[in-house]
Amino acid sequence: MSNQENNDLNNSGMNDEDMVEVHTKLNKDKHPPTQGFLIAPLVFVFVFGCLIFVCSIQLAHSTNGFDVHPPTEVVELTDEEREQLRLERKFNSGKKLFTANCASCHQASGLGLGDIYPPLAGSEWVSANPELIIKVITKGLIGEIQVKGKTYSPAGGMAAVTNLKSDSDIADVTTYVRKAWGNDATEVTEDIVAQVRKDSADQKDQWIGVELQSTYLQVSSNE
Ligand code: HEC
């Protein structure tokens, strides 16, 4: 401050106290009190924070822990239902295998075709000891046979179905044949298939019709 200005102030007639008072007043007018306004946004932040928190918990609950995929339903089956389901699956798998490997000759209806392809529906061969049908499928069959009172003797017989490799496929298809079209024979297990294949490992050619017939079908006709 220059000397001149200093003198002007001193000559303005204001003492120090007046000056402080005027400044305080000016200060108040220029800057309105802010305390009240500062709290408002804090309250909003707090309220919204709580809201987001509560909504998150609600969302986590209603969406199974933010899982996008709905929870897989856990259905408790009784032993009986589980057994029925297992058989149903086996039957359906066997049906597919039958369609692909047998139906061209024995027909989807299981009724066979003409004088060449014997029927499987109602056949005593199918419902006999399961070893019989397993043997026919795995090695084939040749020569004269009787099915449901009718004689079949097609040239070449039936070749082994080499497409069916696994014990479970053979078990499935034979189970299907033994239970389809009104047939009512027991299920064929993989264990039986494995055993029969092991026992007949030495058999290189097709089975002879009359031999199988006398082994398996005379017995059942005496029952
Ligand atoms: C290429 C034609 C052909 C295919 C494929 C075929 N079979 Fe045969 N199957 C025959 C013929 C023919 C006979 C009669 C053989 C004989 O008299 O020596 C026969 C006989 C049978 C017999 C005994 C007689 C009877 O009617 O019960 C059974 C069981 C049998 N087949 C099941 C099957 C099954 C199961 C499959 C599929 C896994 C199958 N066959 C695939 C032609 C076929």
The residue to mutate among 142, 151, 158, having the most atoms of ligand 1 within 8 angstroms of its beta carbon, is: 158
> From ligand 1's centre to the CA of 166, what distance in Å?
19
Instruction: Answer whether residue 137 is part of any domain.
Output: yes
Query: Is the pTM of the predicted complex or chain greater than 0.75?
Result: no
**Across 94-123, average pLDDT:** 97
**Does residue 1 lie within any of the structural domains?**
no
Helix ranges (H only) for 63-186 are 79-101, 103-106, 124-127, 130-139, 167-179
Kindly state if the Cβ of 145 falls inside 6 Å of ligand 1.
yes
Residue 177 is part of which domain span?
79-222
Residues in a beta bridge with 145 = 152
- In the numeric block, which tokens belong to residue 29? 């007018």
Give residue-wise pLDDT tens across range 101-115.
999 999 999 999 999
pLDDT band at 35 (very low <50, low <70, confident <90, very high): low
- Domain assignment of residue 151, yes or no: yes
- Domain total in the chain: 1
Rg (CA), the chain: 47
Per-residue pLDDT of 171-213, as tens digits, reads 999 999 999 999 999 999 999 999 999 999 999 999 999 999 9
CATH number, domain containing residue 132: 1.10.760.10
Could you tell me if residue 44 is inside a domain? no
Those residues with Cβ within 8 angstroms of residue 93's Cβ, 6 or more apart along the chain or in another chain: 169, 172, 176
Rounded to the nearest angstrom, the distance between the alpha carbon of 111 and the centre of ligand 1 is: 11
